[in-house]
Every structure is written in C-alpha cells, then in structure tokens.
Structure 1
Amino acid sequence: MVTKNSLILANLLVLLSTPLLAQTPAAAPVNSNETKPAANAEQKPAEAKTSSEGGSEQKSPENPLAAESNLSDKKKSGKTTKEPMQLGKKNADAPKPMERSEAIKRANAFFNSSPVMTADFVQIGGDGKRSEGKLYVQRAGRVRFEYAQPATMEVVADGVQVAVRDRKLATQDLYFISQTPLKFLMKEKIDLEKDVTVQDVATDDSGITIFIEDKATFGGTSHVRLIFDPKTFKLKQWQVKDPQGYETLISLFNIDQTKTPDAELFKISK
C-alpha cells in the first residue's frame, strides 16, 4: 500500500525548478535522529513514520507509481478544466518535431525566466487516486502544495528542507530537498544539458517531452519526463520514476508567473 506521505512527496519536486541551494550532502540528517532506509524497498515504500508528541523525524523521500495517463486543458465558461487524454496519440494537428538542442534551450529559458509562480495542480497517484490543489513557488526553492479537501495534507519547502504536514493529525515530517530525484532543478542557474543526462526529446499531442536520467539521486537512478506546451513552452506536466520503480504524474493549470506569494506560506515550524 502506498502511503500518503510518499504519494505527496513525489508531487513536490519539479517546482523546485526555481533556484535552490546547491547540492547539500544527501545523507545528512536535519536533527539527531538517524535516517533509516525504507524496508522492503523493492516491493513497496515503507510506511511514513512520525515522531511522538507532534515532533519531526528526518527521512529519505519515496515516490509512488502513477497512471500512464495524460491530462489536457479544456476551456469551459472561461475556466480551465482537466480531462484525461492518451499519451503518444498523434493526428494532423500534432506539433511539429523540435530539435533536441532547441527543446533544451527553451526548457532552460522557462525554468530560469521567473522567480515566482502560482498554479492549480492535479496529481494522479500510484493507486489511481486523483487529488487537486494549489501550488505556490518563489525562489530560491520555496514551494507550497495545498491539497483541496477532503485531503488533509500540505507540503512546504523553505529552501533547505521539505515538510510534509497532516493538518488533521497535527504531524510534520522533514526531508532533505537534495535527496529528491529533481534536485538538478534547484541550482541558481538551470542547464539541463550539463546537470543531468538528457536521454531523448519527443513530440506528440501531449506536447514536447524531455526525457531525463539522474544517476545521483539518493538511493539510485531516477527518470523524469518534463512535458511542455508546444506553443508557449510552459511546463504543463512532469512524471517521475524513482529508483524503486514508483511513478507519479503531476499536471499544472492556470499558471501565473506574475504574482508573488506571501512569504508566510513557506515557513516551516520546527
């Protein structure tokens, strides 16, 4: 069974695409508690573990399996809605193939273009469950995922740590951002060609997809798909497959790169 915390952590972390602290040691703990590897990692992620009396315990993040589906925008009554669409499907209106170098150049330009972003997000988890919420981003590395009800979780990154909170249970777990498979998007200036191995660039109805491999991830090699709108080249989806083989798919809608989020949104209570 996939845990709530592992499902949410997988969600976090392309939006650390705003610059973050450069590569901190992956295994260094936040507090005196020793980081323990997940049990039975080859079969399923370990159950999230919280400390007693509402405290926090440092752990390495896990990423769950996500459906091999895609989501597309549909304008209705002036508001963006989300509908499933099939990955890889092609038709006469499909965007023209883009050269590898041009796709990487435009992806870098997007990631480095703005220090702020707000967006609505949709998450498809390993159990097929769909969750929605609001995303706030501000460099360097500050991110907040607010899940809509009935979910009780929220994720906050303050530039150094990631906190996964359960509002109902009043618990908080801490993780190192540098342990995530998307840490290459945390640098002051992002250059995909230099920071990771770009395996391929593909074009279909879902957009321009950049396939990335990161062998420096805590626990092994991770694979990431970054999916961009072919017209605006804004990031609209990402999918992460972690070293245990778990995947998660996140889609972004109603992206706004002009609003500066309130700094209070990114504070983590110790």
Structure 2
Amino acid sequence: MIMRTSGAAALVGSMVLGTCLLGATAMAATQSIPLPVPSPKRVAQASQPARAPLTAPALTGNPAAGNVVPVATPPRAGGFDGSQKALADKVSGYLSGMSTLVGNFIQVGPDGGRTEGQFYIQKPGKVRFEYNPPSPIDVIADGNSVVVRDRKLATQDLYPLSQTPLRYLLVDKIDLLKDTNLVSVSADDVFVTVVIEEKQALTGTHKLMMMFGAKDFQLRQWTVTDPQGYDTTVAVYNLDPASKPDPGLFRINYERVLQ
C-alpha cells in the first residue's frame, strides 16, 4: 500500500508514535527528559486519528513530577551573531560525528497521546522506531525510503526519505548554516535549540525543532510541526552511540509494499 497524500507525508515527517501512557519514573531516574504537552488549541482540534511520529510545544523538566516549563523559540531576526553561529557549528559537529545511535523514546502527539519504544539509527539514512504495545506501528528508513508498518493490519505505507524532516538527523555530514534553512538558534542553561524551516510545493511548510544538552550537545528531543500546525514531539533517553545495530533492522520489503 503506497500513500502519497500530504497528510500522510506530514505523519511520517513528524515520525514516531501512537497512544500509550508511559511509566516515566524509571526514565526520570536515568536523566531529566524534556516532555511536551499539547496546547489547548491542539487539544480542541485533535479529533483526528493519531498519526505516526515527529511534533508539540516543547517543555523541559521532570516528566515524572509533572514539572514542565515551555521552552520559547525566538524567531530569527536578520543574521545570526557570533555566539549563535558557534552554537550551530557545535550542533553540526555533533550530528556529523554521530554514526550510530540506539536508545529509547517517548512520543507525544497533537492530541496529547503518549507512546514509547526503542529506536535505532545507522547513518547515512537508516532508522527504525519500534513502538511498544498496544501500538502496532514500526517506522523504518533504509536510506532511500521510509515505511510506516502496521503489524496488526499487515499494511505498509511508503514515503521518500527526502520528503521527511527526519532526514536532517540521518545525513552523513551536515552544516546547519549552509545546508538548511536555519531560522532560529537559542540556548539556556539546559538546552541548545535549533529550528529548521522548509517549504515544499506539494506538502507545504514544515518546521523541525531539535534540542540538545547545553553541556554535552547530546540529542534530547525533536519536534516537527506539520503544514496544518500540528506538533509531534519525540524525547529520547538511554542513548548509546557505541552500539552497532543489526543491518537487518533497516530492511524494507518492497514487494509487500507494492501488493
């Protein structure tokens, strides 16, 4: 089954999970995870079915304690100053130096639904998100395409990787200042935040916000805003950059997709 609608592309663009209330106590013991909640506007509009990953207003704090505070993302005003360029260069260095990454994730969708699971990245271009039950979804990219697989329905929806904001996390090397439309760079004591915006003729305008630790520049969270203004946020934790994922995790059965 192949889907080419802009709504489906936005779903993959925001990329990661369904609805499952998380057990955050154990995760909070590992590290503080920035966890978003939907705005009242999003809740009011969220009669749509839950979509597979990336987007929601970003918040910081301890999710187990419910202590979350919105993180402002100031708009770009003219060019970036020297400190902003230095931050962008450090983020570019981190992303370019990362070849593999394995960990756990929490996804919060536009309707406030939460789910969690495991993810595997192998650059360039390969990623797998495995959602914990009751979600039946897996998301797999093999370097060229992205497939959203429903284990319960035995269906697969195929998208070009080049059309999803997720590709910025998966490219081999990246210079945010040269290779993207970087619209915002900001930092506080906890996070460095960058925002990329792109406009496409077929799918409209997407925004990708990525948040990194202010001290180690390690990836903490990303948020994708689709052309309709819906947000999906993915927070990651228990990160292991030394683990080598099995190449079989990233294989897509194209014969099954084309049936």
Could you say whether these structures have the same fold, taking a TM-score greater than 0.5 normalized by the shorter chain as the test? yes
Question: Aligned with 1:99: secondary structure?
Answer: helix
C-alpha change, 1:9 and 1:192, in structure 2 (3 Å) is closer
Structure 1 residue ranges (4+ consecutive) displaced by more than 4 angstroms after TM superposition? 3-9, 43-48, 62-66, 71-74, 81-84
- Please state how far the C-alpha of 1:183 moved relative to its aligned partner: 3.6
Provide the C-alpha distance between the structure 1 equivalents of 2:130 and 2:242, rounded to a whole number of angstroms.
Answer: 19
- Please state how far the C-alpha of 1:160 moved relative to its aligned partner: 0.8
Kindly provide the CA deviation profile for residues 126-155 of structure 1, in whole angstroms up to 9, marking residues without a partner as x.
Answer: 110011000001122110000011111111
C-alpha change, 1:180 and 1:9, in structure 2 (3 Å) is closer
Match of 2:15 among 11, 16, 29: 11
* 1:138 aligned partner: 122
Kindly provide the CA deviation profile for residues 2-22 of structure 1, in whole angstroms up to 9, marking residues without a partner as x.
Answer: x9996565125xxxxxxxxxx
Provide the C-alpha distance between the structure 2 equivalents of 1:216 and 1:239, rounded to a whole number of angstroms.
Answer: 18
* 2:194 aligned partner: 210
C-alpha change, 1:4 and 1:85, in structure 2 (3 Å) is farther
Which stretches in structure 1 are left out of the alignment for 5+ residues? 13-42, 49-61, 75-80, 90-97
- Please state how far the C-alpha of 1:243 moved relative to its aligned partner: 2.0
- Please state how far the C-alpha of 1:99 moved relative to its aligned partner: 1.6
**TM-score scaled to structure 1, two decimals?**
0.68
The equivalences for 1:1-270 within 5 A come to 7=11, 9-11=13-15, 66-72=55-61, 85-88=68-71, 99-204=83-188, 206-216=190-200, 218-270=202-254
Which stretch shows the higher mean deviation, 259-268 or 207-216? 207-216
Provide the C-alpha distance between the structure 1 equivalents of 2:180 and 2:159, rounded to a whole number of angstroms.
Answer: 22
C-alpha change, 1:207 and 1:83, in structure 2 (3 Å) is farther
* 1:24 aligned partner: none
Question: Aligned with 2:15: secondary structure?
Answer: helix
Q: How many residues align?
A: 211
- Please state how far the C-alpha of 1:87 moved relative to its aligned partner: 2.0
C-alpha change, 1:245 and 1:174, in structure 2 (3 Å) is same
Identify, as 1 or 2, the structure richer in helix: 2
C-alpha change, 1:177 and 1:226, in structure 2 (3 Å) is same
Instruction: Report the residue type matching 1:85 in the other structure.
Output: V
Kindly provide the CA deviation profile for residues 203-237 of structure 1, in whole angstroms up to 9, marking residues without a partner as x.
Answer: 23551111222234752222221111011101101
Kindly provide the CA deviation profile for residues 84-123 of structure 1, in whole angstroms up to 9, marking residues without a partner as x.
Answer: 521238xxxxxxxx92011111111111112111011010
Kindly provide the CA deviation profile for residues 154-211 of structure 1, in whole angstroms up to 9, marking residues without a partner as x.
Answer: 1111111111111111111111111113444554421110112222222235511112
Provide the C-alpha distance between the structure 1 equivalents of 2:127 and 2:54, rounded to a whole number of angstroms.
Answer: 22
Cα RMSD over matched residues? 3.2
Provide the C-alpha distance between the structure 2 equivalents of 1:144 and 1:127, rounded to a whole number of angstroms.
Answer: 23
Which stretches in structure 2 are left out of the alignment for 5+ residues? 1-6, 17-44, 73-81, 255-259
Instruction: Report the residue type matching 1:195 in the other structure.
Output: D
**TM-score scaled to structure 2, two decimals?**
0.71
Query: Does structure 2 conserve the Cα–Cα contact (< 8 Å) formed by 1:6 and 1:63?
Result: no
